[in-house]
Amino acid sequence: MKHLRSIKTNYYKTISLLVFFLVLIPKTSFSAGPENNKNEGFNAGDMILHHIYDAHEWHVFDWKGKSYSIPLPIILFHKERGLSVFMSSKFNHGHDTYKNYKLDHGNVVCINDSGELDEAQTAKLWDFSITKNVFSLLFSIMLLMIIFTTISNRYRKNTNQAPRGIQSLLEPIILFIRDDIAKSAIGEKDYKKYLPFLLTVFFFIFLNNLLGLVPFFPGGANLTGNIAVPMVMASLVFIITTLSGKKYYWKHIFAMPGVPKPVLLILTPIEIFGVFLKPLVLMIRLFANITAGHIIILSFFSMIFIFGEMHPLAGYGVSIFSGLFVLFMMTLELLVAFLQAYVFTLLAAMYFGMAVEEH
């Protein structure tokens, strides 16, 4: 890793073209699906929540009043009915029932013979379905494994040679995380132990942030905007920090040196509360920033259809303003995708550094 190649001009052209298509293509996914009554008009709130929430199918496009989507596996285990495995297309976008199951606001529930919700039977249901977010999670993990296995094999085969291809693209980022985040926050002595976790977290968040901006399969899932995913990563940071804490770390939390005992009665509870607050802040920051970005972009797209219902000319006029602002927001979201991955990784490294800090 002695020589770092500069990124070629074609790469920037590709990114520019990608941003262009990111702005144009989402228009196809905003038309009313069969589940919406066109006489009721365009509902911006429903459209935004539909694209942010998880789903049991991957919406592709609408054509002549019909919605086309990629079905995903439904895997259910009921304590009385046993295991049921089928594709989400059996539900026909939520209009049909199958084996006394139906979709209710994106969730699989049990129904009785009259077709009404059976809450008692639903409580006995375990849903292990491959939803949109689950598929995106598995896809991103597989993609990361392929990318970094390829890079690792190239380093082994081409020792002391200049990097090439995707290796030259990611090597500066890897060195940046190692030198400017892990070493500076944790220290030369202990950084190697935490570097694999920091690299994994950074590239996982960064990749899924980018995939969330792609409006077509296999992108478009709001994975990092699903609070369960940031919660799990923040919990891992909390567990690692807690297990890595040395006696000086815990001494500073429970009894800070040089502080009078009466003052400790106030500061110690605050420090203990801060131990749990740090991972909570990690979780909320990532979840809120990613979700807010999607909501803003979808909101400005909605303005086109809202004004279009008033008058077609108003819709065309607003589309110019909305399109320009969405272009700006999509470009900004590319920066946010990197920035949120960087902030999460940096704060995690700082927490690890505080835990292993010597006297």
Per-residue pLDDT, 21: 35
Per-residue pLDDT, 140: 93
Asked whether the predicted pLDDT for residue 39 surpasses 70, the reply is: no
Per-residue pLDDT, 46: 75
Output 15 or 355, whichever has higher pLDDT: 355
Over pLDDT 70: what percentage of the chain? 88
pLDDT digits (tens, 9 = 90+) for 209-261: 999 888 778 888 889 988 999 999 999 999 999 999 888 888 888 877 777 77
Tokens of 275: 């131990």
Residue 29 phi/psi, 5-degree rounding, is -95, 5
- 182 lies in the same domain as 108: no
Asked whether the predicted pLDDT for residue 19 surpasses 60, the reply is: no
Average confidence (pLDDT) over 167-179? 90
- Among 94, 129, 164, identify where a domain stops: 129
Q: In 10 A of CB 271, how many CB atoms?
A: 15
Q: Please list, residue by residue across 304-314, b when 16 or more beta carbons sit within 10 angstroms of its beta carbon and e when fewer do.
A: bbbbbeeeeee
CB 23 within 8 A of CB 326: yes
Residue 54 inside a domain? The answer is no
Per-residue pLDDT, 40: 61
- Name the nearest CA neighbour of 224 among 322, 293, 303: 293
Per-residue pLDDT, 141: 94
- The domain total for the chain is 2
- 173 lies in the same domain as 277: yes
| Alpha carbon distances (Å) from 60 to 31, 103, 217, 346 | 11, 19, 7, 36
Residue 240 inside a domain? The answer is yes
Q: pTM here? A: 0.80
Average confidence (pLDDT) over 64-81? 84
CB 286 within 8 A of CB 205: yes
Average confidence (pLDDT) over 321-331? 86
Identify the domain containing residue 101 by its residue range: 73-129
CA 216 to centroid of chain Cα atoms: 15
Q: Please list, residue by residue across 188-223, b when 16 or more beta carbons sit within 10 angstroms of its beta carbon and e when fewer do.
A: eebbeebbebbbbbbbbbbbbbbbbbbbbbebbbbb
Asked whether the predicted pLDDT for residue 138 surpasses 60, the reply is: yes
Residue 36 inside a domain? The answer is no
Per-residue pLDDT, 249: 83
